[in-house]
A and B are shown apart, each in its own frame.
Chain A
Amino acid sequence: MHDEANRYNRVHEKHLLQVDHVSKSFSGLTALLDVSFGIERGHIKALIGPNGAGKTTLLNVISGILSPDSGHVYYREKDLTRLKPHEIAAQGLSRTFQLVRLFTANNAKVLDNLMIGAHLKLKPSFVKSFFLRGAVHHQDNVVRETAYQMLRLVGLERVVVDYSPSSLPFGNQRLLEIARALMSEPEMLLLDEPASGLNDAEVEGFKQLLLTIKKKGITILLVEHNMKLVMDVADEIVVLNFGRKLAEGNCKEISSNQQVIEAYLGSDYINLAGGNLSG
């Protein structure tokens, strides 16, 4: 029975991504301890928890920026744990960051950011750029079209692509980062607090964007503090606290989970169905 349960944890066919007993500490400080969960293909799973719970660390482990001390990360039943970030991206995982990291060196523009996002599609090389100029040019045009489509998708069609990303208002910068992450046509998207700093109207629009992305068949792991957004879009939620998994389940289960409520606010009861729990 124990074995069966382990095997269930390790590789569940419907799970596109499987986090398996992942632990990570930094100089004695435990960031993650034995975290396991899976995400079904095509679902939106929210990763929530108080500040410092280890959510971003977990994203960093999944995307390959950090190596876990123990445990594994499986994607489509393939072990990603020791792969480098670019290899993981090549598997079909794309991500955004908590603090937007757009490219601005050398006067890079909005369009440049999107074109770079298509790197996995373009596969540029010195040889190609030098000797196969015609083919590169053609590919370029195709990707450019895709870039414009992507801007339309995220709602940035009115942005002038020749401007620097830093000239965009903050909310639009986030949208641009998401558009960039989508350029490689990923199977799965990891989003790190994409709605933080957005006002209510923007969050509403963002909710629609997430649902649109989901309709395209892309699986999403969403780290968020905005509980209303989470409740509205997430198929499942997993809760972290002090690096440990506290609870996992659908929205109803989580919102009535006593431990989760306590983790966020001590022993005061609040209605998790509404309101923002950040800070």
Chain B
Amino acid sequence: MLFIALFPATLGKISPYYNTVLILVGIYVILAVSLDLLIGFAGQISVGHAAFFALGAYTSGILTAKHGIAPPIALLCGLFVSGLVAWGIGRAVLRLKGYYLAMATLGLNAVIVKLITGFASLTGGASGLLNIPPFRIFGLTLQDHTYYYYFVWGIVILVMTCCLALAKSPFGSTLIAIHSDEEAASTLGIDCPKYKLHVFVISSMLAGVAGSLFAHFMGFIAPDDFDIFTSILILVMLFLGGVGTIYGAALGAAFLKLLPEVTYRFQTYELFFHGLILILVLIFMPKGLLGILTNVKNWLLGSKYLSNPSSLGTDP
């Protein structure tokens, strides 16, 4: 956790361009981390996370741009809308397992994006929603990217702390039980559908928060920002960084968002490399980047930190 605290502080001093990038990194960290709770801990494969990203963004965007509502309230509304949709559809959808759940969530994402595009009078349709004001809180307009950067990363740290706390708590253990073996878990008294719904709602609400932050940052949002390719991107970030560890998700998000900065010349190769890296990770390093870093750390620190003789890879 210290690591996290130091990180943004040092980077705050860097030039405004990097602030922009890092704000996006922060937003995607929230997305990846919230998805980790759902996939990494509870084992529910969702390929439609961007749907809730969209709900949060559009709710915030519409309320602030068209109705002049204060951004913090709009953010809460976005959170609420995402949570509500997740609650409404979650019970039924989470009855599905494996491929069917993945497909259903993909379908959900597609439906929501198509609906957003379709109701153009409300959402600006395919051409997008314009004129979203920057975030205004306590009278302060966070126009300057530096201020917004601190704000966003403040929220990121808050979100990560929450997720880590949840993961280590009995609630998190319950999710792990559900992930391992739902039937066995139920014989221990665990109401699986209830817990799956809860984590789904929490995860979706966090995605909604990310959406609001995104909307105010960009000033302009379009349905294309939230399609299934975005969901897949978040999924890749999660697995790349190391699924089921929260830190891994953050790492993956940061890595994939910062990578284009280094390789911008090879932009056309980006998509291919995303797929290739993921394939390599899945086959050779299922624990992801975090796993690699942990192994390096163990190697450097010697046998005192020998990993558990039977440590299993984090099975998604």
Partners in one complex: yes
Total A-B pairs, Cβ < 8 A: 129
Chain B residue total in the interface (Cβ 8 A): 38
Residue B79 CB within 8 A of the other chain: no
Residue A209 CB within 8 A of the other chain: no
Alpha-carbon distance between A115 and B169 when the two chains are bound, in angstroms? 11
Q: Are A106 and B176 in contact (CB under 8 A)?
A: yes
Q: Are A104 and B312 in contact (CB under 8 A)?
A: yes
Shortest Cβ distance from residue A57 to the other chain B in the assembled complex, whole angstroms: 14
Residue B139 CB within 8 A of the other chain: no
Q: Are B180 and A103 in contact (CB under 8 A)?
A: yes
- Chain B's closest residue to A88 (CB) is B187
Q: Which residues of B contact A129 (CB under 8 A)?
A: 165-166, 169-172
Interface residues as binary, B35-58 with A (CB distance below 8 Å gives 1, 0 otherwise) = 000001101000000000000000
Alpha-carbon distance between A47 and B179 when the two chains are bound, in angstroms? 31
Looking at the complex, which of A33-41, A147-155, A163-171, A210-218 is the stretch in contact with chain B? A163-171
- Chain A's closest residue to B313 (CB) is A107
Please classify how large the interface on chain A is, using the bins under 10, 10 to 19, 20 to 34, 35 or more.
35 or more
Given contacts A106-B244, A124-B170, contact A86 B312 (CB under 8 A): no
Residue A44 CB within 8 A of the other chain: no
- Chain B's closest residue to A65 (CB) is B183
- Chain A's closest residue to B41 (CB) is A106
Q: Are A130 and B173 in contact (CB under 8 A)?
A: no
Shortest Cβ distance from residue A140 to the other chain B in the assembled complex, whole angstroms: 7
- Chain A's closest residue to B176 (CB) is A106
Residue A142 CB within 8 A of the other chain: no
Looking at the complex, which of A12-20, A90-98, A254-262, A265-273 is the stretch in contact with chain B? A90-98
- Can you report 9 residue pairs joining A to B where beta carbons are below 8 Å apart? A94-B187, A104-B312, A107-B311, A108-B176, A116-B188, A125-B171, A126-B202, A133-B165, A181-B188
What residues of chain A have their CB less than 8 Å away from a CB belonging to chain B? 63-65, 84-86, 88-90, 94-95, 97, 101-108, 112, 115-117, 119-120, 122, 124-126, 128-130, 133, 136, 140, 162-164, 166-167, 180-181, 184
8 nearest interchain CB pairs? Answer: A124-B170, A129-B169, A167-B310, A89-B189, A85-B186, A103-B180, A120-B189, A129-B171
- With A97-B184, A119-B190, A166-B310 known, 20 other A-B pairs at CB within 8 A are A84-B191, A86-B189, A89-B186, A103-B176, A103-B180, A104-B315, A105-B314, A106-B40, A106-B314, A107-B314, A108-B173, A116-B177, A122-B170, A124-B170, A124-B174, A125-B171, A126-B199, A136-B170, A163-B308, A167-B309
